[in-house]
Structure 1
């Protein structure tokens, strides 16, 4: 997970990874549309207007699907919200 600027420059990054198969693979797409957009093999990008929706989903994520990754995503979302032209990237394999 990274925050990048318009030119692709990495502004911040997370240290832990996300076990997509264990944590997100079977989420209800209607209830979690932002998290359901994540793909373990492709990149997903969230802009400043999508970040609040993502944060709301993280807050209601069941505890067994949480962990350190949720805190790190929340912190990266704050980086996106603090400045213009910032994007949260989930980088797939």
Structure 2
């Protein structure tokens, strides 16, 4: 199964923290609602960056997806993604998704 790397970066692009070595499950992106503001734009084959102003929308969309996901293991994975995103704080912080 394909995964997408995720990391917290400084404004200079330096990695502050990396999510799980296996990255996020691509099903998160595949199941993004067509009207989502963030999730549907994560590129499984390229890089996608969100800034600190976009993070609340990303978190909200992930919470909605978690609540609508029937598979327990995927729900648990989304919880870990949310826990990581909740550690991202401060000005000029970014979350980068790195596709294949």
TM-score, with structure 2 as normaliser = 0.75
Structure in which a larger fraction of residues adopt strand: 2
Matches of 2:38 and 2:87, distance apart in 1: 18
Structure 2 regions of 5+ residues with no counterpart? 1-5
Equivalent positions of 1:1-93 (< 5 A) are: 1-15=6-20, 16-20=22-26, 22-30=27-35, 32-61=36-65, 62-64=68-70, 66-80=74-88, 82-93=89-100
Matches of 2:25 and 2:49, distance apart in 1: 18
Shift of 1:70: 1.9
TM-score, with structure 1 as normaliser = 0.80
Shift of 1:78: 2.4
Contact 2:24 2:81 in 1 (8 A): no
Structure 1 regions of 5+ residues with no counterpart? none
Contact 1:3 1:86 in 2 (8 A): yes
Aligned length: 90
Taking a change above 3 Å as real, the CA distance of residues 25 and 69 of structure 1, as seen in their structure-2 partners, is same
| Aligned-pair Cα RMSD in Å | 1.9
Shift of 1:84: 1.4
Contact 1:12 1:76 in 2 (8 A): no
